[in-house]
Amino acid sequence: MTDSELITNAAGGDDSAFEQLVKIYEKRVYTIAFRMTGNPDDAFDISQEAFLRVYRSIGSFKGDSKFSTWLYRIVSNLCIDYSRKSKKISTVPLVVTRDEDEDEVDIPDTRFDPDKELDRRELARNIEQALSKLSNEHREILLLREIEGLSYEEISEVTALEAGTVKSRIFRARQKLREALIRNGNIPDDFPSKNSKGERL
């Protein structure tokens, strides 16, 4: 069954169709929640609550917005509430969940070498850490773009941001992510003078 068939059936009261939708989206929803809250318990609660809210309103869901954008908007709102309540404005504790790596704290100073591609998992862990240093706004928009693969238009729907803001915020977020990786020594800063003073635009 396609997503839209599942949605139609779920809206018609078919709980097993809804369960399948949960299974399709749980990983992505949980990832956003985890990356935004920085801890598995809150991520779990937020993700569960998001699906419950979807369930309550799926009867009124209309196809003119994509199901996924609708879902992510709910998740995103829940995460915003969470950060307001917990006053975690921009710091999220780094928790590396990848099984056996859990106790590794020191990230080795691996220089970025374009010829020898970094081990993907290693890189992912570095990005993970850098991501946790970003502001909520930057982290959220990167997650929507890179993890959920949403288009700019869809991101605009989810976040209620103007298209132009989406565009520039994604760009800023990437720059911040890069800067964080440079600070951590995960990639080299070949251009130390970049964007420093005189440049505009």
Partner 1 sequence: MKGLGNSGNCEYFSELISLKIDGEISETQLKELEDHLEHCEKCRETMKVFSMLHEASGELLIDPPDGFSDGVMYKIGVEKNRKRGASRFLPRLIPLAAIAAAFAFMFFNGVFDQALSSSSSITDTAGETTRLLQGAPSVASSSGSTKDSRSVQPADGSQESASVTEKEASADSVLTFSDASDTQQPAQFSASANSQQNTAGYISGYTFSSVQYVALSGKDVLETIQYSDKGIYGDYECFIVEEDIFLQIADELDIIQAPDNATNSLPSYELSGTSGFVLIILTDK
| Least distance between partner 1 and beta carbon 103 (Å) | 18
Q: Stretches 1-9, 27-35, 86-94, 101-109: which one binds partner 1 (CB under 8 A)?
A: 27-35
Site stretch for partner 1 (CB under 8 A), options 1-9, 86-94, 101-109, 117-125? 117-125
| Residue 145: DSSP 8-state | I
Residues 142-181 as x/- pattern, contact with partner 1 by CB under 8 A? x--xxx---xx-------x------xx-xx--xx-xx---
Interface characters, 39-78, with partner 1 (x: CB under 8 A): -x--xx--xx--xxxxxxx--x-x-xx----x--xx--xx
If one asks whether residue 186 binds partner 1 (CB under 8 A), the answer comes out as no
116: left (phi over 0), alpha (psi -120 to 50) or beta: beta
Helices (H) and strands (E) counted in the chain, each on its own, are: 8, 0
Pairwise CA distance, residues 184 & 129, whole Å: 9
124 binds partner 1 (CB under 8 A): yes
Torsion of CA 170, 175, 176, 178, to 10 degrees: 120
CB 139 within 8 A of CB 181: no
Q: Binding residue for partner 1 (CB under 8 A) from 17, 34, 36, 140?
A: 34
